[in-house]
Structure 1
Amino acid sequence: MKIAARAATIVALLAALVAHPLPAGASEDAPGTTKHTIAMGDWDRPYLLHVPPGAKAGRPLPLIVVMHGGLNDPEYVRRQSGLDKVADEQGYVLAYPEGFLGTWNAGACCSFARWAGIDDMAFLDTLIDTLVKQGIADRRRVFMTGFSNGGGMAYRYACQRADRLAGIAVVSGALAIGCTPSKPMSVLAFHGTWDPSVPYTGGGDMDADVHFPFIAVQVVMEFWRWVDGLGPLSWPVPGGPEGCVGTGPGRLVVALCTEQRGGHEWPPYASEMIGRFFAERPSLPKS
């Protein structure tokens, strides 16, 4: 995509946010969805916070950090995923952080955030720390998910901050960085075999100026299986459609849902599965 086209897309996204503003300045632990910012050096980084009904002050809940795809925004992935409904039913707090000009620095990808050297790791660190300090999020039950470029950012965070996460779920995303996690990690992935943006079998270029091919999805899952010391992905995932296989029951699980002829999309069943997958993961050790 040419720079002019990218800029036009961003302007349209900003216009949509202005046309449909969210409440701001409300108490962060009040039920509903509110918009907030975190000061990060010269930048104020926005995020949406969704607190489920029934949340009580002083009783932190499991947190899912949800990251949008490239050239999108928090409101887009909020609508795309439908995770608010899952959070309300299952008792999660959701944080939807906003990337730099709609992008995340996931390593070898993507676009503006990578070109500008944006420290998205520090932003996510601060976001999680803020919500834990406010008593909204349970430090031992922090999870991360994302779509496309946001999924790549979830992979990067799991690679470099494994001790802070109880599990991740990646939708149509790519591992775009050298990965040496400090501990095993439960991983759930969703990917279409006809994905034109992040090819299922690998190949293509990770970014406009990064002529390095995407890693095949199966290879990425084999990597996490190896990290976790688990068996092959041969068990049908309970409650998942055909094409969802994992390493079997246990505290650590690696699972992949392959969408035959699926494109670059968030499958309609994915959010319910993500909620259940995270609920089944053990909490991090007490500090």
Structure 2
Amino acid sequence: MRPVCLPALFVFGLLATACDSAPGPEGSDFNLIVAVGDTLREARVRVPAGLTASQPAHLLIALHGSNDTGPNFKAGSKLDEAGTDDMIIAYPTAAKGNWAEGCNCNIADRLQIDDLGFMSALIDSISTVYNISRERTYAMGFSQGGLFAYRLGCVMGRDFTAVAAVSAPMSKPLSESCSPGTAASVLTLHGREDRVLPWTGSDNGAWSLLSAPETTLFWSHALQCDRPATEETVTSGDARLKSTRYQGCRGGTRVTLLEMPEGEHAWYTRDPDGRDLVMDFFLRR
């Protein structure tokens, strides 16, 4: 790893004047540290080989699950393998092991951790060097990271063109406060046998969850989608999934539920390959 301006890490915000070039070498991984108020937050970032500062690029923010880290999720998710040769992928780390998902139920919410500000700072820092636009910026999350991805769809649609949640329905408290301004497309990829964040939802006070179908129905109403939904079977490897898809949504957005009949609480890399399914949704392949 070749440092651009500081050994091993690159700081934006507090030490912006220390760097006058790209936040990391092309075709490598680097640590990006941004200032959010008085707090320094960190993400691991992958820049594809050959990507230049002027070339139009996609940006994906990948959100880990509970009590994980960005670098660990990067290693385990293998998202780098699914990304395109013009896609930068940022793997941020939650401050307290969990994201402030908007439920007022976990430590990040109770401590008012500014994870929304963190996402904005990440986008701004990378976009100052690379040719990123809102139409090419996405967020996806696994498990508790998926719960937070829905919050980004609620309040940061101006920054993301699409968000995706894997093995995560939407929290009921968030659904009660969610009123999207600028619309972002929404994908839910969920297994019916999930026992951690159940497909059927849950009723547990501030920790309550919508079911996966209720989550998709919520977004179809919030984004004023055309009806009825289109239902079809899609394949990924040897897996067959049920797709429920709403189109004609506000701002040209889409809302999709991909149902895995025997899927458990997992990040899927084969049969089905969740990475490819998410990328297909983002890139409209």
- TM-score bracket relative to the smaller structure: 0.7 to 0.9
> What is the TM-score normalised by the length of structure 1?
0.80
> Take 1:215 and 1:112, find their aligned partners in 2: how far apart are those partners?
21
Distance in 2 (CA, whole Å) between partners of 1:248 and 1:213 is 25
**TM-score (ref. length: structure 2):** 0.81
Match of 1:69 in 2: 65
**Deviating more after overlay: 169-178 vs 42-51:** 169-178
**Whole-Å separation in 1 of the counterparts to 2:104 and 2:275:** 25
Please state if 1:82 is matched with 2:67.
no
Alignment of 1:40-79 (within 5 A): 40-79=36-75
Segment of structure 1 superposing worse, 63-72 or 190-199: 190-199
Q: CA deviation at 1:204?
A: 4.4
Instruction: Please list, as runs of the form range in 1=range in 2, the aligned pairs for 1:199-210 lying within 5 A after superposition.
Output: 199-205=198-204, 210=205
3-state DSSP class of the match of 2:208? coil
- What letter corresponds to residue 246 of structure 1 in structure 2? T
Residues 28 and 231 (structure 1), Cα distance of their counterparts in 2 relative to 1, 3 Å cut: farther
| Distance in structure 1 (CA, Å) of the matches to 2:253 and 2:133 | 20
The structural deviation recorded for 1:252 is 3.0
Counterpart amino acid of 1:199? P
Deviation at 1:237?
Answer: 6.1
Alignment of 1:183-222 (within 5 A): 183-205=182-204, 210-222=205-217
Partner residue, 1:260: 261
* Corresponding residue for residue 13 of structure 2: none
Structure 1's 183 and 231: CA in aligned 2 closer, same or farther, altered over 3 A? farther
How far did 1:94 drift?
Answer: 0.4
Correspondence list, 1:162-181, <5 A: 162-176=157-171, 177=174, 178-181=177-180
2:117 aligned with 1:117, yes or no?
A: no
1:182 equivalent in alignment to 2:181: yes
5+ long unaligned stretches in structure 1? 1-21, 282-287
In structure 1, what is the Cα distance between the partners aligned to 2:81 and 2:147? 24
Matched, 1:38 2:34: yes
Structure 2 residues not aligned, in runs of 5+: 1-6, 11-21
Write out per-residue CA displacement over residues 188-245 of structure 1, whole angstroms, 9 at most, x where no aligned residue: 111111212211111143xxxx545211110110111222413344332655542231
2:283 is aligned with what amino acid?
A: A
What does the per-residue CA deviation read over 1:89-146, in whole Å, with 9 as the maximum and x for residues that have no partner? 4521101111112210001165321221101111111111111112253343111100
Cα distance between partner residues in 1 of 2:235 and 2:253:
18
Kept after mapping to 2: 8 A contact 1:231/1:247? no
Q: How many residues of Structure 1 are paired with residues of Structure 2 in the alignment?
A: 255
Matches within 5 A, 1:139-158: 139-158=134-153
* Residue identity in the other structure for 2:74: R
